[in-house]
């Protein structure tokens, strides 16, 4: 086995340690800046070589001992053993590099990271997979760079209650010998266990996802989970798709069938299959930052919220605007946004179920503030072009991927001044970083 000894320069987007050696670029799993490592190459794409560490010849002083038994193989966290302040510095550098390299913009626009109040137990939603291997039931997360499942006993970024639910679920499934879905053969029943927690209301929701509606031994399954699983709501989702975990029709086995969250007096009901931000304390900081900018810049009038979900931003900002329109393609989320608007007694909001690209292609009204919170793939090209034609006075762009954010900001900078980019650490102990970019229409436009 051929090995190479080299020094890691930095961490790049994707969480890899970056090193150069003999005119080649190496992307190294689980290697931190300044570390001297012995590596083994696993594969390459053109001139980039992907490698793993065989031996740490000199470790980073910021590397702490990992306190999770699954850390070496689990793909859930990448930086769990790195000092938190160091994580924040690295994440800021990742964002700066993408803004500079892909956005061709000044990286001084990137502000310091808003940290998370909690760095363990912070996740309000976790998706665990069922697997049956060599006669053993597993409930867990995917291994790094693999579809194999790590059997999770205790996940540190999950709330403690999630670990208890996993443990109880395992006992029930083993006792009833329930059928686990196999994605290779596409046979079996149970696919995933998705757990949600409301941090403001301290509510729990357990969602069991099966391939079809049918569950063998359903009567016993239903009575045991209602008795043993400590959850305010228990949901059964039917999902035939193998590409998306949480979607499809569902029925409520126990409880109200929604989970409630509250921010500064605004209450939200979140249906089982709807998207919602995954870190309560950091989401609160994002909302506060939005309000601060709206007040400081005297923004009022009309707000257009694209990819509006269950109405989180629209509803929170509604009292500061004459009228708010939210656009979302997910029907379950739109329905929830309507009821959330009613719960909060708002009369100036409207939510529309529509594909964002189709909606905006026909839209021609004046926009004082545009909020975009697109999926990881960023804003669709047609949508970007139309935004530049519409010329909203101000844009709040919230992004979970610094690469697509940088690409989109490059295009928007044709007509907009990018005031700043503020990273928010929505996902501590991972390389993921949320970013908020504030843009103002250029006066010459």
Helices marked H in 344-434:
356-361, 381-390, 402-412
The single residue of 68, 74, 77, 400 carrying the catalytic annotation is: 400
> What are the structural domains, with CATH classification, of the chain?
4-61 (2.40.50.140), 89-118+277-441 (3.40.50.150), 125-263 (2.40.50.1070)
354 CA to centre of own chain: 22
The gap from C-alpha 281 to its chain's centroid, in whole angstroms, comes to 14
Query: In this structure, what are the phi and psi dihedrals at residue 369, rounded to the nearest 5 degrees?
Result: -140, 125
Contact 349, 340 (CB under 8 A): no
- The question of whether 74 is a catalytic residue gets the answer no
256: its two tokens = 């109200």
Distant-in-sequence, close-in-space partners of 65: CB < 8 Å, separation ≥ 6: 81
Residue 254 CA to residue 229 CA, distance in Å, equals 10
Dist. CA 17–CA 35, nearest whole Å: 9
pLDDT in tens, the chain (445 residues): 789 999 999 999 889 999 999 889 999 999 999 999 999 999 988 889 999 999 999 999 999 887 898 998 898 899 999 999 999 999 999 999 999 999 999 999 999 999 999 999 999 999 999 999 888 999 999 988 788 899 999 999 999 999 999 999 999 999 999 999 999 999 999 999 999 999 999 999 999 999 999 999 999 999 999 999 999 999 999 999 999 999 999 999 999 999 999 999 999 999 999 999 999 999 999 999 999 999 999 999 999 999 999 999 999 999 999 999 999 999 999 999 999 999 999 999 999 999 999 999 999 999 999 999 999 999 999 999 999 999 999 999 999 999 999 999 999 999 999 999 999 999 999 999 999 999 999 976 5
Report the run of H or E that residue 393 belongs to, with start and end.
Answer: none
């Amino acid at each position: 086995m051929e090995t190479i000894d080299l020094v890691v320069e930095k961490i790049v987007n994707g969480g890899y340690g970056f090193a150069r050696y003999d005119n080649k670029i190496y992307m190294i799993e689980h290697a931190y800046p300044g570390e001297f490592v012995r590596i083994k190459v696993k594969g390459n794409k053109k001139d980039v070589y992907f490698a793993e560490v065989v031996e740490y010849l000199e470790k980073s002083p910021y590397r702490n001992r990992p306190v999770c038994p699954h850390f070496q193989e689990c793909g859930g966290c990448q930086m769990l053993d790195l000092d938190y302040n160091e994580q924040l510095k690295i994440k800021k550098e990742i964002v700066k590099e993408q803004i500079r390299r892909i956005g061709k913009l000044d990286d001084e626009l990137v502000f310091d990271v808003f940290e998370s109040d909690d760095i363990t137990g912070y996740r309000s939603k976790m998706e665990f997979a069922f697997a049956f291997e060599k006669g053993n039931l597993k409930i867990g997360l995917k291994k790094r760079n693999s579809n194999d499942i790590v059997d999770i006993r205790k996940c540190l970024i999950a709330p403690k209650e999630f670990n208890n639910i996993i443990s109880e679920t395992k006992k029930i499934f083993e006792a009833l010998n329930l059928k686990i879905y196999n994605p290779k053969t596409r046979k079996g029943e149970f696919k995933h266990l998705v757990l949600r927690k409301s941090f403001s209301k301290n509510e729990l929701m357990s969602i069991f996802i099966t391939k079809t509606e049918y569950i063998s031994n359903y009567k016993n399954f239903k009575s045991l989970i209602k008795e043993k699983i400590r959850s305010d709501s228990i949901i059964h989702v039917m999902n035939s798709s193998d590409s998306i975990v949480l979607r499809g029709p569902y029925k409520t086995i126990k409880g109200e069938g929604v989970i409630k969250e509250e921010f500064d007096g605004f209450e939200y009901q979140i249906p089982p299959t709807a998207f919602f931000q995954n870190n309560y304390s950091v989401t609160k900081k994002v909302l506060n930052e939005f309000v601060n900018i709206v007040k400081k810049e005297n923004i009022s009038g009309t707000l257009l919220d694209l990819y509006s979900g269950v109405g989180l931003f629209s509803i929170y900002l509604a009292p500061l605007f004459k009228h708010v329109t939210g656009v979302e393609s997910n029907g379950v989320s739109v329905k929830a946004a309507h009821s959330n608007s009613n719960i909060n007694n708002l009369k100036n909001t409207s939510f529309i179920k529509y594909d964002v690209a189709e909606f905006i292609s026909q839209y021609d009204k004046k926009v004082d503030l545009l909020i975009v919170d697109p999926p990881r793939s960023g804003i669709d090209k047609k949508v970007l072009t139309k935004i530049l034609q519409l010329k909203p006075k101000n844009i709040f762009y919230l992004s979970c991927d610094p690469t697509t954010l940088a690409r989109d900001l490059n295009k928007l900078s044709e007509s907009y001044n990018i005031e700043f980019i503020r990273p928010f650490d929505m996902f501590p102990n991972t390389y993921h970083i949320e970013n908020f970019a504030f843009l103002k229409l250029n006066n010459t436009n």
